[in-house]
Amino acid sequence: MEYQVRNVVCQIEEEEFAFPVDHITGIEKPQPITKVPNTADYIKGVTNIRGEVTPLLDLRSYLLQKETELDNDYKILLAHVGDIKIGLIVDKANEVMDIPETILETVQVDGEETDQAVQVAKMENRLIILLDIEYMLKEMDEETFGKIRSMI
C-alpha cells in the first residue's frame, strides 16, 4: 500500500498549491480586513474569524510577488502552526486530495535541494506545488514574523 498525503488544494491565478490538511482548520469567505501599519506588503492585515483576531497572509503577493486587489471572490484558508494561527488568502479552495507520495518530486531552488518546501505533484495534466506552512513562516524575516506573533 503506497503512502498518501492528504492536502487542501488551492489556486492562485492559474497555479495550484497544496497544504497538508493537518495544518488547515477551515476555509472561510471574505471578511472585513483591518490594515496593520508597517507590515510587509504580503500581510494584508487582520480580521475577526470565529471570534479570534487572525493575521492575513496574501499568498499571491508572497509567492508570486504580484500586487493583489481583493474582490469578494477570494477564500481564506485558516492555518495553524503550533500556537500560531494565520489566514492564507487564495483565489480558490479547490478540493481536498490524497496525493500519493510516489508522484512527488523535489525541485531544485537556487542550486540547493529543499526537502518539503518545494515538492511538486506531477499528475496527468496538472502540477501541484506542495507548500510547507512551517517553512514559509520561518523564511519570513524575523521582524515580520514577530509582528504576526504580536497580532494573535
Cα separation values, 63 from 83, 88, 115, 136, 152, Å: 23, 11, 18, 10, 23
pLDDT of the residue at 67? 78
Average pLDDT, the chain: 84
pLDDT of the residue at 116? 43
Per-residue confidence band for 115, with pLDDT thresholds at 50, 70 and 90: very low
Per-residue confidence band for 48, with pLDDT thresholds at 50, 70 and 90: very high
Per-residue confidence band for 141, with pLDDT thresholds at 50, 70 and 90: low
pLDDT of the residue at 12? 93
d(CA 7, CA 17): 9
* Confidence (pTM): 0.84
pLDDT of the residue at 111? 46
For 119-133, how does the pLDDT look when each residue is reduced to its tens digit (9 = 90+)? 899 988 899 999 888
The pairing of strands 119-123 and 104-106 is antiparallel
What CATH architecture is 4-151? Answer: Beta Barrel (2.40)
